Structures are given as C-alpha cells and as structure tokens.
Amino acid sequence: MSDTTSELARLRAALAAAEARAEVAESELAQTRAVVSCSEAMIQELKLEIAKLRRDKYGISSERRARLIDQLELQLEELEAAATEDALAAEQTAEKASTVRAFTRRHPVRKPAHQISPVALEAVKRIDAIFDIEREINGLD
C-alpha cells in the first residue's frame, strides 16, 4: 500500500512539473509570436514608407499605386492590431506562468564566536606572561 501511495505522490509531482514546464513553454511561445508580429508590422511599415517615397520621387503616380499604398496602410493597421493582441496574450501567459513565493521574514541569528587558533592562544599566553613580569619589575603587582 505504501508503495502505491509513494508512486502516486511521485507521479503527481511529475505531473505538476510537466504542467509547469508546459506553462513556461506557452509563455515563451506567446512572447515569440508577439516579437514576430511586431517584426512583421515593422516590415510592412517600412515597405509602405518606401512606396510613399518612390511615389514622391517619381512624381504623380497612377491610380493603381495609390490604391496599393492604401492597401498597404490597411495591412499595416491590421498587423499592428495583431501585434498588440499578441503582446497582450504574451503578457497574460507570462503572468500565469510566473509563480511568486510568499515572503518569509528571516530572524536574526547570533553568529558563533570565532575559534582562536592554538598558535594565537600560545601568543596570548606569552604576552600575558611578559606583562606579568613587567608589572612585577615595576612593582605594580
């Protein structure tokens, strides 16, 4: 019975770990999608600007180019909206995946006294003996 209980606990722990990894992977995927959609929007915006500059450079263009520029502007607006949605989705999945530990106050602990080495102890004893001899000579003892 204890074997099945311990195995059940082990499997539950493995499941929780797998779910945590899946949440992290989903969060990373959402962030990657947001970056890609922002990049696509930037590419479209640059294409639109190039088209406008070409039109300015070569003078009045045909009606077809004007429609193409309008179409590019619409695509740009759609891509920017999609990029915003992807960024929000990435933010939401990142919030889900992140876990916050509770704050636990650390209580002050007294540090242990330093150990004095045997050499230092011997030096202290010798210095003490020298002071004793000096006090005796000076008549302070």
Q: Where are the domains of the chain?
A: 6-99
Between CA 136 and CA 141 the distance in angstroms is 6
Identity of residue 14: A
Q: Write out pLDDT tens, residues 77-107.
A: 888 888 788 778 777 777 776 666 666 777 7
Q: Write out pLDDT tens, residues 101-139.
A: 666 777 777 777 778 888 888 998 999 999 889 888 888
The pLDDT assigned to 96 comes to 72
Residue recorded with tokens 């960024």: 87
> Over 70: is that where the pLDDT of 63 sits?
no
Q: Write out pLDDT tens, residues 35-62.
A: 887 787 788 778 777 777 777 767 655 6
The pLDDT assigned to 107 comes to 75
Q: Are 66 and 83 in contact (CB under 8 A)?
A: no
Model pTM?
0.41
3-state secondary structure of 113: coil
